[in-house]
A and B are shown apart, each in its own frame.
Chain A
Amino acid sequence: MSTQIQRSSLALVLAVGLAVTGTACGSDEEGDGGSGGKVAITVNGQPAKTQPFERKMFDQDVADFERAHPDIDIQPREGFMDPKTFAAKLAGGQLEDVFYVYLTDPANLIARRQAADITDYVKDVPHYEEIQPELREIFTDDNDRVYGLPTANYSMGLLYNRALFTRAGLDPDDPPATWTEVREAARKITALGDGTQGLAELSRNNQGGWHFTTWMYSVGGQIAKKDGDRWVADFNNDKGREVAETLHAMRWEDNTLGERQLLVFEDAQRMFGAGKLGMFVGAPDNIPPLVNQFKGDYADFGLAPLPGGEGTLIGGEGYMLNPKASPEKIRAGLTWVQWKYLNPDRMEQTLKTYSEQDQPIGLPTAPPNAAADVWVGDLREKQQQLREKYATVPVENYQSFVDGLSELEKNIEPPNAQQVYAALDNVMQGVLTNRNADIDALLADAETKVNTALAQVR
């Protein structure tokens, strides 16, 4: 009998428990938050425990910030932008008050009203006007309303292996400046044999489209243009053909792009880190992982401006505010973002600390954000001097990139970038996997798809 009662109780407890859980799932969490008059805000961007140095620096920053701002309580969360969980977190009330975004995200988040309008608060953010206008524009809509702050950016360039250049009889201090020179260098590097490959190109998971866009910008082309009120595709033209034909020739005539295709970024990094790849199109933030994860040597890696000489693609990261955040939380969130990521007063101290810990300083990129190339005018010059002063990596290996950048037009990513990139993946896949690729047909097909994607831009 007692067993039966126990069993009955267990079943009831189970049923009630589930019902309670169900109710709890439906309820919204916390209101304005705050303990003892403090404004409590959740922020993401905290590095994982597997990155002990970065984690320690972040937690130290939180402590320092809270000491300097006793009325704000920072509740850090691990992680960055994950499109797979973003909507679920937003729907479930779990999205952080201050959340990290890639520069491809703001346009869609603004269109869907999934970020707070901070126009009325941003005028109080120190140095806001000294941030590069191209970067500010990414967080601003057509009505000049502002929805976030850029905190780091990258410009695409040409990463090359200086050791392989030397072995192939090329001058590592005079990297290729045109795509014709890239082809020539790739031929010489591939001729080294033993599985060495001249150049690698990406063609999967929208990364092919991202790189095709970069190539287009490099030759002065575009991916999309405004036609009245709407956006239309702008690559089914001579520039698009030029890019596709160059890639096709490198793959099938020169045999310098390798047999294995459908690559993603990690594949190229792995090949580059293993010393089997001569060049790939990428940004300076690729260099530290090549050293840390693939045991490379900074002395072996060089970075040149994107060949072509016309333009480059810029991307990066920033922070936006939860659309459900209260005005107090928005103010506190902006104070945190400015203090932590956009703070010229902390620039020297941060670079010095990183340098003393033998972290890579000297690259025109984050981390730390103090080294990110986001400023204009005096601040940019001051930052460059400090980067050189505290450099721990061979700055001269990237000098041509830094110098050449000012001559290139900096283009942001096209609207509805991910959908556009998905369509452009096909162009890359076509020319890289099909010897008899019909380039005109590939471009025309991608144009139809891109126009469909652009028609949804609201």
Chain B
Amino acid sequence: MSPTARSTTTRSTTAAPVAAGPDTSAAAPRHVPARSTGRLRRRVLDNLTAYGFLCAALVVFALFSWYPVIRGVLLSFQQVNFVTDPVWVGWQNFETLFADPLFGVAWRNTLLFTGLALVIGFAVPFAVAVVLNELRHVKAYFRMVVYLPVMLPPVVVAILWKWFYDPGPGLFNSALRAVGISGPSWLNDTSTSMLSLVIVATWASMGSATLIYLAALQTIPGELYEAAELDGANLWQRLRHVTVPQTRFVLLVMMLMQIVATMQVFTEPYIMTGGGPEDSTVTVLLLLYRYAFVYNDFGTASAMSLLLFVVLGAFSALYLRLTRTRS
């Protein structure tokens, strides 16, 4: 007997004396569960909307998120042609990947991009937010100026910057030539190509990060700065001992989110360099794209995405743990 059924029986026995007579003992067990079922039905009806939306969300997640993830994991161990049944190949796709000289290069480049993005793409928006926070006038105008590039489609940004970087008639080198400086080759040079891409990515996405930092900065109580000033703290000391500690949590969360985002860099190298020169901008996602859509090898592409999934999963777990602890 299930716990629910047992409690129903108990309640039915307490109800029995109220309705006296020989037939009531038989009728009661039927009558009381009916009341309980009715309550259940009412509860279901009351929450029908919620269940409906929940169900829809579950179907959407299952169909568009969980199913592709599971299918991706399975594909990592299969060879498929989408005509005949998939063939299980064990670790062969991973072996193909590890034998590819570009695999290590792609990870090294991706980590370089992530590292440079942390140095440039992390510090610059924070610095801009601090400056914006200090502004007394035309605050709204500068906020808009900083946010404007976010509204441009990434492809437009990449094409625009390709012209900026053009070593011949491009914007930067023309300007540098005007003051008698011979500019670098930007995207055409293995030593500056990745840095050039990081600058583009930072320019294009710093608006959102700046606004988040700005929001965090504005929650810092003014008294803390006043106290620091009374103690004789200069600008750098106020920044170091008040601003940074007070926004530490936001900074940490943003850093983790940035790591997860920058490790998936694709648009900039795809459009601007195609991975060159000399593989200096081949990233994990770009190589994955080549395996899937140029070489038509979905097994190896899935193996690669599984590895990336594991790495990004570790950072995401850290992020979740951090935010959960905080909340």
Contacts and interface: CB of A to CB of B under 8 A. Distances in A.
Given A206-B294, A433-B190, A14 B168 contact: no
A449 B102 CA distance: 8
Interface string A1-34: 0001001101110110011001001000000000
B277 A83 contact: no
A395 to B, nearest CB: 36
Contacts of A83: 293-294, 296
A18 B277 contact: no
Contacts of A112: 81, 296
B29 interface: no
Nearest to A258: B168
Interface stretch (B45-53, B119-127, B240-248): B45-53
Interface stretch (A48-56, A86-94, A210-218): A86-94
Interface in A101-156: 108, 112-114
A7 B51 CA distance: 11
B196 to A, nearest CB: 12
B82 A261 contact: no
Q: Interface residue tally of chain A, by bracket?
A: 35 or more
A114 B81 contact: yes
A449 B101 contact: yes
Max chain A C-beta neighbours (<10 A), residue from B83, B166, B168? B83
Contacts of A4: 49
Contacts of B293: 83-84
B166 A260 contact: yes
Contact of B83 (A113, A262, A434): A113
Contacts of B56: 11, 14-15, 18
Given A87-B82, A433-B276, 17 more contacts: A10-B52, A11-B48, A11-B51, A11-B53, A15-B52, A18-B63, A87-B292, A91-B82, A113-B81, A203-B276, A259-B167, A261-B188, A261-B277, A324-B83, A433-B188, A433-B190, A452-B101
Given A22-B63, A324-B83, A452-B101, A433 B277 contact: yes
B241 to A, nearest CB: 47
Contacts of B59: 15, 18-19, 22
Contacts of A113: 81, 83-84
Nearest to B191: A434
Given A204-B274, A259-B168, A15 B82 contact: no
Contacts of A12: 48, 52
Interface string A292-326: 00000000000000000000000000000001100
A304 to B, nearest CB: 27
B215 interface: no
B277 A86 contact: no
B99 interface: yes
A282 interface: no
A429 B276 contact: yes
Contacts of A79: none
A425 interface: yes
Contact of A90 (B63, B82, B166, B292): B82
Contacts of A449: 100-102
Contacts of B188: 259-262, 433
12 contacts: A8-B45, A11-B51, A18-B56, A18-B59, A87-B82, A90-B81, A204-B276, A205-B274, A208-B276, A259-B185, A418-B294, A456-B96
Interface of A: 4, 7-8, 10-12, 14-15, 18-19, 22, 25, 83-84, 86-87, 90-91, 108, 112-114, 195, 203-206, 208, 258-262, 264, 323-324, 416, 418-419, 422, 425-426, 429-430, 432-434, 442, 445, 448-449, 452, 455-456
Contacts of B169: 195
B194 interface: no
A206 B279 CA distance: 12
A6 B115 CA distance: 53
Contacts of A19: 59
Contacts of A258: 168
Q: Interface residue tally of chain B, by bracket?
A: 35 or more
Interface string B14-58: 000000000000000000000000000000010011011101100
Interface string B252-291: 0000000000000000000001111111000000000010
Max chain B C-beta neighbours (<10 A), residue from A8, A195, A432? A8
A445 B190 CA distance: 16
B226 interface: no
B198 interface: no
B52 A11 contact: yes
Interface in B185-211: 185, 187-190
A262 B295 contact: no
Contacts, number: 127
Max chain A C-beta neighbours (<10 A), residue from B81, B102, B273? B81
A203 B277 CA distance: 8
A455 B96 CA distance: 10
Contacts of A262: 187-188, 273-274, 276-277
A92 to B, nearest CB: 9
Interface in B125-176: 166-169
A114 B295 contact: no
A120 B188 CA distance: 52
A114 B83 contact: yes
B167 to A, nearest CB: 4
Contact of A8 (B48, B99, B294): B48
B168 A426 contact: no
- Shortest 4 CB-CB contacts between residues of A and residues of B: A11-B52, A204-B274, A91-B82, A429-B277
Max chain A C-beta neighbours (<10 A), residue from B53, B276, B294? B276
A391 to B, nearest CB: 38
Contacts of A324: 83
A454 B277 CA distance: 23
Given A8-B49, A419-B295, A15 B55 contact: yes
Nearest to B298: A87
A18 B188 CA distance: 49
Contacts of B295: 108, 416, 418-419
A85 B48 CA distance: 40
Contacts of A208: 276
Given A108-B296, A259-B167, A14 B83 contact: no
B101 A433 contact: no
B239 interface: no
A113 B292 CA distance: 17
Nearest to A4: B49
A115 B52 CA distance: 44
Nearest to B48: A8
Max chain A C-beta neighbours (<10 A), residue from B51, B55, B84? B55
A422 B278 contact: no
A320 to B, nearest CB: 12
Contacts of B322: none
A14 B52 contact: yes
A82 to B, nearest CB: 9
B220 interface: no
A426 B52 contact: no
B224 interface: no
Nearest to A430: B278
